[in-house]
Amino acid sequence: MSGIDSVEDVVAVVFLLAGAFLCLTAGLGLLRFPDVLARMHAGTKPQVLGVLLVMVGGAIRLNGWSATWMLLLVAAFQLLTAPVSAHMISRVAYRRRHVRRDLLLVDELRTGETQDRVRRGDEPADAPPEEPAQALVESRREDDGGAFGQES
Amino acid sequence: MTGVPVVRGLGHQVRHQLPLLVWLVVVWNLLWGTWSWANLLSGIALALVVTVVLPLPPVVGAARVHPGGFLAFLGVFVVDLVTSGAQVAWQTLRPGVPRSAIIRVQLRTDSDLLLTVVAEALSLVPGSLVIDMDRERLLLAVHVLHVHDLADVERQRASVLALEARVVRAFGSADEIAALDRRPSAAATGRRTP
């Protein structure tokens, strides 16, 4: 059991390495993507595929069916749960306006025409605004339904 | 056919939860990893306890599986899963900030189960991630990664509808399959660019 002995082992190693690489890119995406919604893409697709590949590699390498069944369950639950959690997080992020609107080509979900000038969309939920007085005025304007420049 | 809610108690409930029961027993047995009658019986007992103590609302409209449609859905899904994983992985490595879009897509299926499958599958195929769903008007809000122009947006919209069609052809009833052609893109959605 030392080293790579057979074709089976080579295949397993290729699967494991590819899966690990995809999980690495998922982590990179979390760091590099600009906002929550884009990060959720990284957290679902390469991540799920990476876990699946690692499971396949493990199933080839491990002996005995009982381990394989367990890996199958892990894969199934990964496929079922990753989209749900990503959806819940994106929904909350959108509603709390953690969206980089300047990077959106189209936003058909948007209801009002108000410009969101207080938040850029990539700060933490409870981050204090950079200029509190300015931000307070802006958010009051947004609460008034976007009546810009009506108070003077 | 008694029709009296009091009479159809536990038995009715168990019959409605049968797919869930079977799934729980399967999971239990897979977790043990070995086949034995003891595992099967304890799994059934446990599944009954779980479904009675923690009941879920029954899934309206039981699933039927069309073998041809199911294979087509599964095949395309696996290919999509691999390409989307590779695509997003590449996106994380290449320089530059990706532009994205949020689109609303008018779906045609009015079934909880099918909509769930559509929404789950959508998050795993290239480009798209479900943000929100308007259950009443069957509008799905989807976040799309790496779009370059409006043609990309329309392509993505078409691919969401194609996915929905594949899901319905795999699991839907005859009525639902017919509904795919009856209402092609019913309501136009207003588009706003920031």
**What ipTM was estimated for this complex?**
0.76
Entry field: residues in chain A: 152
Q: Which alpha helices (H) appear in A33-64, and where do they start and end?
A: 36-61
Per-residue pLDDT averaged across A132-137, rounded? 70
| For testing contact with chain A, the best of B129, B140, B167 (most A CBs within 10 A) | B129
Do B90 and B140 lie in one domain? The reply is: yes
Contact B128, B108 (CB under 8 A): no
pLDDT tens profile A22-40: 999 999 888 888 888 888 8
Query: pLDDT tens digits for B160-182?
Result: 888 888 888 888 877 778 777 76
Whether residues B125 and B177 share a domain: the answer is yes
- Are A52 and A19 in contact by the 8 Å Cβ rule? The answer is yes
B194 touches chain A (CB under 8 A): yes
Residues of B in contact with A104 (CB under 8 A): 99-102, 194
Structural domain includes residue B191: no
What integer is the mean pLDDT of A13-22?
93
**Total tally of structural domains belonging to chain B:** 2
Q: Are residues B23 and B75 in the same domain?
A: no
Examine the domain organization and report whether B20 and B76 are in the same domain.
no
The answer to whether residue B163 sits within a structural domain is yes
B100 beta partners = A104
Residue B61 lies inside a defined structural domain of this protein:
no
B74 and B35 in one domain?
no
Kindly report the number of other CB atoms within 10 A of residue B64's CB atom: 11
Mark yes or no for CB contact A106/B191 under 8 Å.
Answer: yes
- Count other Cβ atoms within 10 Å, centred on residue B52: 12
B14 in any annotated domain: yes
- Report whether pLDDT(B191) > 50: no
Residue B155 inside a domain? The answer is: yes
Probe site for chain B from A23, A39, A41 (most B CB atoms < 10 A): A41
Same domain, B27 and B105: no
What's the pLDDT score for residue A9?
86
pLDDT greater at residue B96 or residue A27: A27
With tokens 């799920």, the residue in question is: A48
SS3 B101: strand
Nearest residue on chain A to B105, alpha-carbon basis:
A108
Is B111 found in the same domain as B74? yes
Contact predicate A67/A59, CB 8 Å? yes
Asked if residue B91 is part of any domain, the answer here is yes
Nearest to A100 by CA among A82, A121, A85, A86: A121
pLDDT at residue B19, rounded to an integer = 78
- Read off the pLDDT band of B18 (50, 70, 90): confident
Residues B106 and B139 in one domain: yes
Are B81 and B103 in the same domain?
Answer: yes
In which band, very low, low, confident or very high, does the pLDDT at A150 lie, cut at 50, 70 and 90?
A: very low
Contacts with B89 from chain A: Cβ below 8 Å: 21-22, 25-26, 29, 46
Residues B100, A103: C-beta atoms closer than 8 Å: yes
On the question of pLDDT at A117 being above 60, the answer is no
In a domain? residue B16: yes
Check residues B128 and A110 and name the one with the higher pLDDT.
Answer: B128
Q: Is residue B156 part of a domain?
A: yes
Burial of residue A133 (CB within 10 Å: 0-12, 13-18, 19+) is exposed
At A80, give phi and psi (nearest 5°): -80, -40
Can you give the residue range of the structural domain that contains B21? Answer: 10-53
B42 and B137 in a common domain: no
Chain-chain contact of B103 with A94 (C-beta, under 8 angstroms): no
Nearest to B129 among A34, A90, A109 (CB): A90
Q: Which amino acid, A24?
A: L
**Residues B113, B41: one domain?**
no
